[in-house]
Amino acid sequence: MNRFSMDLRRMRLAATGVVACALVGVLVGGGPAQAQDANSRLNKVEAEVRALQRKVFPGGDGKFFEPQITPATPTPTPLPGTPASTPITDVLVRIDSVESQLRQLTSQVEQNTNRINQLEARLAASAPVAAAPGALAPAPVVSTPAPSTPTPSASMPPRAAAPSNSRIDAVRAIVKPQSADAGDDEYSYGYRLWEAKFYPEAQQQLKLYLEKYPKHARSSWGRNLLGRAYLDDGNALEAAKWFVQNYQTDKRGDRAPDSLLYLAVSMKQLKDSKRACIALAEFSETYASEAAGRLKGTYDTTRNGLSCA
């Protein structure tokens, strides 16, 4: 905690103490001596706040604190029948003024502290790194014959090959639909990329579709097709995650049966026969009409080679 913050806390505690003394003195019917003592202490707090303002904002223009010398203002003459302010009212008004000044000081100190911290961070980031004491000068370069078989570094994984210009051109050649249903256009574009066997591009596009339109009418299709894009790309484990998510999200979705069946296909590719059989059994029970109809070929092919009970 910096020095100004500590001063502010002491001022706030002092103001709180004065309020308590003043209120207790008035409410319990204390005599003039107690009220005069509270008034003196409040005067002291106000003077200290003004001194703190001059310390925090030297050379100020009076924006945040009142000048020490102000022109005398005439005392208004109370109207007949208007009751004079009570001591407690006067104390509360003055305490409100002190609290307001403290809040302004606190705000300004916090802003200044934040600016200083940001400035120091920028200076530290832009400072040049000094050389370590005793650092050795670089050794002279000696030409040596290159090894016949370079050994790749274990800490440097091979970079993925950048797409060729021909692939980029081929992807650009796939036209994105433009219809009144923007969500359907996003899904259809992902389908066209998958159909053209551009699986990484299809994965990216289908994820974009699901992020932008999670409640779209084709969301079940999108999640299932995203799983197919990973499965056809040789990533059965990531494919299984999307198949499970699609099936559990909406078991009555348009492509929930497909996801459950292709979950079994993924497990079979991962050599997990037990889970593959569990998925096939649930598929045949939950979607019997699909197992005997539209998806019968895939169902029979997946069961082939598995010893499911």
* Least confident piece of the model among 135-144, 152-161, 185-194, 245-254: 135-144
Check residues 196 and 69 and name the one with the higher pLDDT. 196
Helix axes 219-232, 256-269, angle to 10 degrees: 20
Residue that wins the pLDDT comparison between 200 and 73: 200
Q: Within 10 Å of residue 52's Cβ, how many Cβ atoms?
A: 20
Is the pLDDT at 61 greater than 90? The verdict is no
Residue 198 has pLDDT above 90, yes or no: yes
A 10 A CB-CB count for 50 gives: 15
If pLDDT is split at 50, 70 and 90, which confidence band does 87 have? low
At 171 the pLDDT is: 92
Contacts 24+ apart (CB under 8 A), 62-67: 64/101, 64/104, 64/105, 64/108, 65/101
In Å, what is the CA distance from 88 to each residue of 11, 18, 35? Answer: 21, 12, 9
Contacts of 152 (CB under 8 A, 6+ apart): 158
pLDDT given at position 152: 45
Terminal Cα distance for the chain, rounded:
71
The pLDDT tens digits of the residues spanning 4-47 come to: 555 555 555 555 554 454 444 444 444 555 556 656 766 776 77
Q: What is the pLDDT of residue 100?
A: 74
Contact 247, 260 (CB under 8 A): yes
Domains and CATH numbers, the chain: 1-62+88-108 (no CATH), 199-303 (1.25.40.10)
Residue bearing the bigger pLDDT, 30 or 293:
293
Q: Which residue has the higher pLDDT, 224 or 148?
A: 224
pLDDT at position 121: 79
Amino acid at 97: S
pLDDT in tens, 108-120: 777 777 778 887 7
Give me the mean pLDDT over the 186-215 stretch: 96
Q: Which residues are within 8 A (CB) of 42 and not within 5 positions of it... i.e. 6 or more apart?
A: 18, 22, 91, 94, 95, 98
Please tell me the predicted confidence (pLDDT) of residue 162: 66
Q: Where does the pLDDT of residue 151 fall: very low under 50, low under 70, confident under 90, or very high at 90 and above?
A: very low
